[in-house]
């Protein structure tokens, strides 16, 4: 059976699952694919791009979303239900979220910012306050400060003891 599945393209498998119309099978299929393969599916099936993103776990959807062109991102956001849009934008790393929002008209930005959690809204507004193409707009605000006398073990211990977040921390030394 596995050999047969390998011989069938991901696109053909996706079309077959779409025809069945079972949301649980679509989700399971998409969550089992490589992120780059799902990105390819979004481009191959533009009429289903929002369905693809909406039927993935939010964490995996974020990884796909941030690899897409802005035009696809816009289309997807317009089609997603507000609750999923909020979850997606709140999970998106602040620098990627800022890159996306800066490409939108100001009225759309205002509406999308309302969907963010208070802390994510504060970070996003802070980054959007920097001039376009400045280092302030490009930076990732999540970091751990490390002193030169800290060992790697201590640094990793510091990171492990920090409040758990779904976003990876960037270590600067």
Per-domain boundaries in the chain: 2-140, 142-173
167, pLDDT greater than 80? no
97, pLDDT greater than 60? yes
More confident position, 130 or 13? 13
2-140: which CATH topology?
Answer: MgtE N-terminal fold (1.25.60)
pLDDT recorded at residue 155? 72
Token output for 144: 């751990």
3, pLDDT greater than 80? no
pLDDT recorded at residue 45? 95
pLDDT recorded at residue 83? 93
Once rounded to an integer, what is the mean pLDDT over residues 12-19?
92
Residues 110/87, Cβ–Cβ less than 8 Å = no
Residues 113/105, Cβ–Cβ less than 8 Å = no
For residue 49, count other CB atoms closer than 10 A to its CB. 21
Q: Using a CB cutoff of 8 Å and minimum separation of 24, what contacts does 76-81 make? A: 76/49, 76/50, 77/112, 78/50, 79/49, 79/50, 80/50, 80/53, 80/54, 81/54
The size of the chain, in residues, is 173
Q: What percent of the chain has pLDDT above 70? A: 77
pLDDT recorded at residue 135? 62
Arithmetic mean of pLDDT over the chain: 83
More confident position, 156 or 66? 66
In which element (H, E) is residue 144 found?
Answer: strand 143-145
67, pLDDT greater than 80? yes
pLDDT recorded at residue 142? 54
Stretch among 35-39, 49-53, 98-102 having the lowest mean pLDDT? 98-102
pTM for the whole structure = 0.71
More confident position, 62 or 144? 62
């Amino acid at each position: 059976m596995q050999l047969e599945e390998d011989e069938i393209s991901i696109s053909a498998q996706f079309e077959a699952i779409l025809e069945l119309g079972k949301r649980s099978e679509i989700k399971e299929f998409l969550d089992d694919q490589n992120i780059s393969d799902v990105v390819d599916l979004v481009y191959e099936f533009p009429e289903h791009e929002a369905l693809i993103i909406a039927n993935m776990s939010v964490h995996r959807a974020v990884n796909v979303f941030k690899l897409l062109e802005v035009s696809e991102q816009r289309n997807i956001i317009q089609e997603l239900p507000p609750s999923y849009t909020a979850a997606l934008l709140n999970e998106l790393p602040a620098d990627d979220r800022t890159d996306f929002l800066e490409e939108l008209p100001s009225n759309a930005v205002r509406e999308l910012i309302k969907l963010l959690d208070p802390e994510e809204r504060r970070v996003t507004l802070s980054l959007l306050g920097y001039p376009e193409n400045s280092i302030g707009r490009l930076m990732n605000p999540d970091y751990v400060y490390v002193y030169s006398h800290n060992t790697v073990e201590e640094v990793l211990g510091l990171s492990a003891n920090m409040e758990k977040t779904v976003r990876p921390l960037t270590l600067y030394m």
